[in-house]
Amino acid sequence: MSPLLAAIVATWGALLIVYLGLAATLRKVHFLEAEVRSLHAGSGVKPIGVDLRLPGLAAPDAPKARLVVAVDSACASCHLTVEELLEIAPTLREQPILLTYETPDTWGHAAQSLRIRRDPDTWRALAHLSPPVLMTVDGEGTVTDLILVSQPNQVRRAAITWGFAELPARSLT
């Protein structure tokens, strides 16, 4: 076989392999798009991607969702999140709930602006998540929105996005 013919055959072989790889990738993208569409097409799956119920936070008399922050006193980020929540608390439409497994006096400094709720069983339901966890919980105890707070300014953004506060735009930085 001449070197030119070998180069042509090798080139066509490489093109065929690239084409098959592209076809396989496009097929997987198509299936992924179909799966995402089915999740958002009224299948009952929450947008946060989890089906998380917290019966300990159920409040049938609550007309709408409540703002809840799950924290751990050993977590530095939790302390920053609580401080941010305390700062914006006067502008919130209702008093947020601070969920902990610890004694209420651990978070006693926050008691004036936050409802401290000690509930080890409900905390265990969230134990697989990394605190601080900021979420909205409806009257049946179902988590409707959830974020894992990594920066304190996410608390303000979430409060505005979820309709708990109307804060000035400059406070979002």
Band the pLDDT of 71: cuts 50, 70, 90.
very high
3-state secondary structure of 144: strand
Strands 143-148 and 133-137: antiparallel
Q: Note the pTM of the prediction, 2 decimals.
A: 0.67
The answer to whether the beta carbons of residues 167 and 158 sit under 8 Å apart is no
For residue 43, pLDDT beyond 50: no
Band the pLDDT of 168: cuts 50, 70, 90.
low
Query: Region 129-136: what's the mean pLDDT?
Result: 90
Predicted confidence at residue 8, as pLDDT, reads: 95
- Amino acid found at 106: T
Query: Average pLDDT, whole number, for the chain?
Result: 84
Band the pLDDT of 45: cuts 50, 70, 90.
very low
- Percent of the chain, pLDDT > 90? 39
Q: Measuring CA to CA, how many Å separate 135 from each of 13, 37, 141, 163? A: 54, 24, 11, 12
Predicted confidence at residue 166, as pLDDT, reads: 74
Query: Region 150-160: what's the mean pLDDT?
Result: 90
Render pLDDT for 78-129 as a digit per residue (tens, 0 to 9).
999 999 999 999 999 888 999 999 988 898 888 888 999 999 989 888 878 8
Query: Mean pLDDT lowest for which of 23-27, 51-55, 79-83?
Result: 51-55
Query: Region 10-36: what's the mean pLDDT?
Result: 89
